[in-house]
Amino acid sequence: MDRSSPVPLYYQLSQQLEAAIEQGRLAPGSLLGNEIDLAARLGLSRPTVRQAIQSLVDKGLLVRRRGVGTQVLHSQVRRPLELSSLYDDLEAAGQHPATRVLHHATEPATARVAAALGVPEGSEVLFVERLRLAHGEPMAHLRNHLPVGLIDADPARLEETGLYRLIRAAGITLHSARQTVGARAATPEEGARLAEPEGAPLLTMERTTYDDTGRAVEFGSHVYRASRYSFEFQLLVRP
Amino acid sequence: MDRSSPVPLYYQLSQQLEAAIEQGRLAPGSLLGNEIDLAARLGLSRPTVRQAIQSLVDKGLLVRRRGVGTQVLHSQVRRPLELSSLYDDLEAAGQHPATRVLHHATEPATARVAAALGVPEGSEVLFVERLRLAHGEPMAHLRNHLPVGLIDADPARLEETGLYRLIRAAGITLHSARQTVGARAATPEEGARLAEPEGAPLLTMERTTYDDTGRAVEFGSHVYRASRYSFEFQLLVRP
DNA sequence: GAGTGGTCTAGACCACCGC
DNA sequence: CGGTGGTCTAGACCACTCT
């Protein structure tokens, strides 16, 4: 514990505990030892130790049981879903993502886009249409609508990185997103774009993303090749 | 605030705040008023008030900003995804779900099932195959594998309710689930079962569910008619 | 500078679990 | 019964935001 650091004590502790769990120094199923002793041993107060432990409970790494103790969860259970971007997913998987910007302009909002973004129908919104490639192969067709003036959506920057990075770089704090995932058969145009035959199954996702004021910052309608992509995520049950 | 109640004070407060937000008595975007005054007014300590507020922040209803205050989020942003069961989803949507148990037996675990459930390959597991109907129409084909002896999987009970309710009724505390959602074209057999033509797009979901000891309690391979069903969920961004 | 949330302390009593 | 986490208090100081 480093009291001179600006990093909060509870956060230092939670990071140390998390590292110990990841590295197996705290075995799955083992008990953490009671909070009072732990606090005394570390020279911290019990609430501070509890805050550290609680953050790992929220992450799904620990379970507390009254009268029993705090236990390390067996390791198949890992961290929950984060608001991910396809670009980051591909990059993390070592797939060398690339983006081709097909279209990029402001246009009047359709009823659906206006409803999603919470702007008047017909008002100008930014529309970006992109093709996402991995290893040079098309993976997904991405259509996004954003309020005008929100980001610097220079096509060159859009080809270099993901939309979410641009949004975050504009100082916007993302808060939540509402997603719908479905499937449908490819139209001839979609098939041509994604190198799939007509009628091939496609995964579809619609997503509206909100910042921490509750304002919609992005509405996306995305189509993925089902043969190349699936969504994987982890849910935690609220206690 | 009722101090004689066994319900924790912070929980009473968080429920009252949540109700006030739901009913619009606390307007979206409005500030909650500072924690110290709120504590004094309610006769609570500040940590207790903070705990109540924090639980609503975790639910995504409030946002805290240092130096500014605690703000009610605009209401498009609602609660996050819960570990849902198709049965409950359909029932909540007033779709009158029904279940037909197609198969129900113990059988040796395949390599994939064994890996998902964390049991030895070839050991006996319970296999349940069901067809889920809504308004008498097939919606999904559900295949589940469970460790033997975990639940009382009487076929009659399986037809009456969802698998998750049976698992919970067996005293198991669900903790988390890992899901993969994809799509594929219907085989002739799948088409016949789900009243879809061959080649029709189907949504697929694989899910392994864990209890709070980290033990896998269920592995499901489900197929949904894409024309009738999509997954909708809400994500919160971890701060 | 005034006001806000963020962190931290050092206690206290209670409810639940397993022996 | 002893030990655990769950709740609660009454303070304190700090970091940040806005004016």
Q: What pLDDT digit, counting tens, does each position of B126-179 carry?
A: 999 999 988 889 999 999 999 998 887 788 888 888 888 888 888 888 888 888
Closest by CA to A165, choosing from A85, A83, A59, A56, is A85
Specify the pairing of strand B137-147 against strand A174-185.
unpaired
Q: How confident is the model at residue A165 (pLDDT cuts 50, 70, 90)?
A: confident
CA dihedral A30→A35→A41→A42, nearest 10 degrees, is: 100
Distance from CA of B91 to the nearest CA of A (A): 19
Residue closest to C2 C1′ by Cα? B67
d(CA B34, CA A222): 42
- Mean pLDDT on B29-55: 90
Whole-number pLDDT of residue A81? 58
Residues of chain A with pLDDT > 90, as a percent, come to: 48
Which chain C nucleotides are covered by protein, judged by CB under 7 A?
A: 2-12, 15-18
pLDDT in tens, A7-23: 899 999 999 999 999 88
Mean of the per-residue pLDDT values for chain A? Answer: 88
Residue B55 pLDDT > 70, yes or no?
A: yes
- Its pTM stands at 0.86
End-to-end CA gap in chain A: 30
Whole-number pLDDT of residue A104? 93
Q: How confident is the model at residue A149 (pLDDT cuts 50, 70, 90)?
A: confident
Whole-number pLDDT of residue B91? 77
Mean of the per-residue pLDDT values for chain B? Answer: 88
pLDDT in tens, A93-125: 777 888 999 999 999 999 999 999 989 999 999
DSSP letter for B31, please: B
Q: What strand order describes the sheet that includes A137-147?
A: A97-108, A124-134, A137-147, A216-225, A201-211, A174-185, B231-236
Residue A231 pLDDT > 90, yes or no?
A: no
DSSP letter for B59, please: H
Q: Is B233 on the interface with A (CB under 8 A)?
A: yes
Q: Which residue of B has its CA nearest to A231?
A: B181
Q: How far is the CA of A65 from the C1' of C18 (A)?
A: 12
- Round the CA-based radius of gyration of chain B to a whole number and report it: 23
